Chain A
Amino acid sequence: MRHIETVFSGFGGQGILFAGQLLSYAGIAAGLYVTWIPSYGPEMRGGTANCTVILSEEEIGAPVVRHPTAAVVMNSPSFLKYRSLVKPEGLLFVNTSLIDIKDEEEDARMILIPASDLATELGNIRMANMVMLGAFVERTGIVALDAVKEQLAEHLSERQQKWLEPNYVALERGAALIETQV
């Protein structure tokens, strides 16, 4: 059964909530049940933001989970929090551009991606979220990368449409990293 419980977490402004929404849109297009719930409140104003996204073939009960099966962490506070929460057999996508991981900290769950550096290389550091999402989708297989691209075209604001192609490249770049790692 296709089912994933994942958290996207990072600084406000890193596009965390949007990445989660994009995955959600792609999930609905794929006929899955979807819940997306943000942490909301004062911490949204410049602090750490996160959202929990559940995609499932069956109707979703709890929209929040203590131990997600996957997490995308974009900054150090998020890494410290979710390192201990993600299930042992789960996946932890780590933005190594902003998170220093010592060798002894690494474990089998971790997928290391210098997302912010790659995004900068591709022309805009704010595309780090798409690099991570590309990797996430490729690794989990929960939805197709093309489905994410379709939803991106639909949900990127008009003002941001000029970034559509570069964002496609960012998604592909993230996905390609998984291919090479595997």
Chain B
Amino acid sequence: MTKQLLKGNIAFAEAALRYGLEAYFGYPITPQSEALEHLSGRMIEEGRVFLQAESEVAAINMVYGAACAGVRTMTSTSGPGYSLMAEGLSYIVGSEVPVVVVNMMRGGPGLGNIQPSQADYFFMTKSAGHGDFHPIVLAPASVQEIIDMMGLAFTLAETYRTLVIVAGDGCIGQMMESAELPPMAATRQSRPEWAITGARGRDRNIITSLYLGPENLERLNHRLQAKLARIQANEIRYQEMQVDDADLLLVAYGTAGRICTSVLREARKQGLRVGLLRPQTLWPFPEERLAELSQQVRSMLVVEMSAGQMLEDVQRVVQGRVPIRFHGRMGGIIPMVDEILDDVTSLVQTAAA
């Protein structure tokens, strides 16, 4: 395959299809509607299932149903739609069925706007719905990375029978970038043994998130927590740049993360020893690595397109070992390299003094 100019929304949709997506259900919302539009044609072409639902509530429950039937299924949305899906997400995790959801974050709260934002970090990583759980949250920083992460998302969802959220933002969705799509993979030939497909020649399968006895429900919760612990042990992903000699560590993900690669280059040109840690999984969060790095750098700068949400995870992990500064933009504003660089310069000077 060769590199093509691909728009993020179309790229992740086409990638999902090529990774064997069997059923897509969705509801239009900017800034990700191109994904739904793209799949409306492509899924039918490939003889797969596409349906535009009457709401995000219905869409996620259609996905839930298809997941119970054991097919590779997903939806995509943005903030307001994601809020409506929260109920379904909780049922999906409680029922332990594999589902992938793409949330192309936009400015909030409320109707907010349609510009890029990272303000759903808490909502996705800490409180994706009622009950005790975390989804796996992947954070792509480029069109190529969201393509690759769609394959990873399905694998993780199916390996752990859980919910995987791909946390993009309007920038990743609307941007066109040189990227390469995966080759077309066939859809799975068989359904998992737990799926509801009609009890032909076997005992019936029941998929439910209802456990009336508290002992039973606690047992489920213990099992879910054990699963989360396995995910934390095995699935943390991050990218680092020039951390070995760094005095200052930038911590940022997604669009803010890629912007920080530019900040890092500029800072290095000025002789400032700056490194970057870019979490690719927001949950599980790269706690151990960040803790290690907090022993070797002199300060940190967290950059987010929010009021400071991942910041709280960084603070929790670093436990005051080094000063942490925050640079955040809200309301759909993408931070500029120069404004972050100003913070870098002053932070390095402060640390030196």
Contacts and interface: CB of A to CB of B under 8 A. Distances in A.
Contacts of B174: 37-38, 40
Contacts of A63: 171, 175, 177, 255, 258
Contacts of B79: none
Contacts, number: 71
A45 B178 CA distance: 27
A38 to B, nearest CB: 6
B259 A41 contact: no
B336 A64 contact: yes
Interface string B184-195: 000000000000
A65 B175 contact: no
B262 A62 contact: yes
Given A36-B176, A37-B174, A37-B175, A28 B337 contact: no
Contacts of B171: 37, 63-64
A168 B176 CA distance: 24
A90 B260 CA distance: 24
A129 interface: no
A70 to B, nearest CB: 17
A6 interface: no
B113 interface: yes
Given A61-B260, A62-B258, A35 B114 contact: no
A34 interface: yes
B3 interface: yes
Contacts of B170: 40
Contacts of B261: 59, 61-62
Interface in B307-336: 334, 336
Contact of A66 (B30, B31, B175, B336): B336
A158 B105 CA distance: 35
Nearest to A151: B5
Centre residue among B114, B175, B178, B338 by max chain A CB count within 10 A: B178
A28 B4 contact: yes
B352 to A, nearest CB: 25
Interface string A8-28: 000000000000010011011
Given A28-B5, A61-B258, A65-B336, A40 B31 contact: yes
A97 to B, nearest CB: 28
Given A37-B171, A61-B265, A63-B171, A28 B260 contact: no
A61 B5 contact: no
Nearest to A52: B175
Nearest to B170: A40
Interface string B269-302: 0000000000000000000000000000000000
B125 interface: no
Nearest to B8: A37
Nearest to B259: A62
A73 to B, nearest CB: 20
Contacts of B61: none
B103 interface: no
B77 interface: no
Contact of B262 (A34, A41, A61, A67): A61
Nearest to B174: A40
A62 B259 CA distance: 4
A79 to B, nearest CB: 21
A163 interface: no
Contacts of B265: 61
B306 interface: no
B78 interface: no
Given A34-B5, A62-B259, A41 B178 contact: no
Contacts of B263: 61-62
B115 interface: yes
Contacts of A35: 175-177
Interface of B: 3-5, 30-31, 113-115, 170-171, 174-178, 255, 258-265, 334, 336-338
27 contacts: A25-B5, A28-B178, A34-B5, A34-B177, A36-B177, A37-B171, A37-B175, A40-B30, A41-B30, A41-B113, A41-B115, A59-B261, A60-B177, A61-B260, A61-B261, A61-B263, A61-B264, A61-B265, A62-B259, A62-B261, A62-B263, A62-B337, A63-B171, A63-B258, A64-B334, A64-B336, A66-B338
Given A25-B5, A34-B178, A41-B114, 16 more contacts: A21-B5, A28-B3, A33-B178, A34-B5, A35-B175, A37-B174, A37-B175, A37-B176, A41-B115, A60-B177, A61-B261, A61-B262, A63-B171, A65-B337, A66-B337, A66-B338
8 nearest A-B residue pairs (beta carbon): A61-B262, A61-B261, A36-B176, A62-B262, A62-B259, A37-B175, A66-B336, A34-B178
